[in-house]
Amino acid sequence: MAAAGDGLAVDWQMDLQKAATPIAEFIHSFHTGLLITITVITLFVLALLILVSVKFSARKNPVPSQTTHHVGLEVAWTLIPVLILVVIAIPSFRLLKEQIVAPKADLTIKATGAAWYWKFEYAKDAGGGFEFEARMLSDEERAKAVKDGKGKKEDFPRLLAVDNEVVVPVNKNVVVQVTSVDVIHAFAVQSFGVKVDAVPGRLNQTWFRATREGIYYGQCQELCGKDHAFMPFAIRVVSEEKYAAWLADAKKKFAAAGDAPVQTAETTLSAR
Ligand SMILES: [Cu+2]
100, 135, 159 - which closes a domain? 100
Question: Distance, CA 201 to ligand 1 centroid (Å)?
Answer: 17
Shared domain for 251 and 117, answered yes or no, is yes
Q: How far, in Å, is the centroid of ligand 1 from the Cα of 82?
A: 37
d(CA 271, CA 209): 37
C-alpha 198 – ligand 1 centre gap (Å): 9
**pLDDT for res 124:** 79
User: What's the 228 CA to ligand 1 centre distance in angstroms?
Assistant: 4
Domain of residue 83, CATH code = 1.10.287.90
Residues 254/132, Cβ–Cβ less than 8 Å: yes
Distance 149 CA to ligand 1 centre (A): 31
* Residue 222 falls in which region: left (phi positive, over 0), alpha (psi -120 to 50) or beta: beta
Q: What is the pLDDT of residue 256?
A: 65
94 C-alpha to center of ligand 1: Å? 28
Same domain flag for 68 and 151: no
Determine the Cα–Cα distance for residues 138 and 9; give it in Å rounded to an integer. Answer: 19
Q: What is the pTM of this model?
A: 0.84
Note whether residue 61 is domain-resident.
Answer: yes
Residues 229 and 211 in one domain: yes
Tell me how far the alpha carbon of residue 220 lies from the centroid of ligand 1, in angstroms.
4
**How many structural domains compose the chain?**
2
CA–centroid distance, 223 to ligand 1, in Å, is 4
What angle separates helix 22-55 from helix 71-100, to the nearest 10 degrees? 160
What is the CA(26)–ligand 1 centre distance, in A? 26
Q: For residues 55 and 187, what is the distance between their CA atoms, to the nearest angstrom?
A: 54
Are 120 and 236 in the same domain? yes
Q: Using an 8 Å Cβ cutoff, are 117 and 42 in contact?
A: no
Ligand 1: centre distance to CA 77 (Å)? 43
Which of 100, 129, 162 is where one domain is finished?
A: 100
CATH of the domain at 183: 2.60.40.420
Is 202 part of a structural domain of the chain?
yes
116 plus 164 within the same structural domain: yes
- pLDDT at position 266 is 45
Q: Is residue 266 part of a domain?
A: no
- What phi and psi values does residue 266 have, to the nearest 5 degrees? -65, -45
* Shared domain check, 222 and 166: yes
Residue 168 CA, ligand 1 centroid: distance in Å: 23
What pLDDT, on the 0 to 100 scale, is given for residue 269? 45
End position of a domain, from candidates 80, 100, 120? 100
Sign of CA pseudo-dihedral 236, 180, 185, 194: positive
Domain that holds residue 69: 22-100
Distance 230 CA to ligand 1 centre (A): 8
- Do both 130 and 83 map to the same domain? no
Considering the domain architecture, whether residues 111 and 88 belong to the same structural domain is answered as no
What SS3 state is found at 188? strand
- 244 and 217 within one domain: yes
Indicate whether 144 and 236 sit together in one domain. Answer: yes
**In this structure, are 112 and 245 located in the same domain?**
yes
For residue 202, report the distance from its CA to the centre of ligand 1, in Å.
Answer: 17
- Expressed in angstroms and rounded, the spacing between residue 62 Cα and the centre of ligand 1 is 61
Please check whether residue 106 is in contact with residue 176, taking contact to mean a CB–CB distance below 8 angstroms.
no
Q: Are both 64 and 154 inside the same structural domain?
A: no
Measured distance between the N- and C-terminal CA atoms of the chain, rounded to whole angstroms: 34
CA of 33 to the centre of ligand 1 (A): 31
Distance 181 CA to ligand 1 centre (A): 13
| 72 burial level (CB within 10 Å; 0-12, 13-18, 19+) | exposed
Q: How many angstroms separate the alpha carbon of residue 192 from the centre of ligand 1?
A: 19
Ligand 1 centroid – CA 41 distance (Å)? 36
pLDDT for the residue numbered 271 = 43
192/217 Cα distance (integer angstroms): 10
Distance 197 CA to ligand 1 centre (A): 10
In a domain, 14, yes or no: no
221 domain residue, yes or no: yes
Q: How many Å lie between the centroid of ligand 1 and the Cα of residue 195?
A: 12
35: how many CB neighbours lie within 10 A of its CB?
A: 10
Name the strand (E) or helix (H) holding 169.
strand 166-169
* Each residue's pLDDT expressed in tens, for the chain with a length of 272 residues: 444 568 898 889 888 999 999 999 999 999 999 999 999 999 999 999 999 999 989 898 888 888 889 999 999 999 999 999 999 999 999 999 999 999 999 999 999 999 999 999 998 777 788 999 999 999 999 999 999 999 898 899 999 999 999 999 999 999 999 999 999 999 999 999 999 999 999 999 999 999 999 999 999 999 999 999 999 999 999 999 999 999 999 998 887 654 544 444 444 444 44
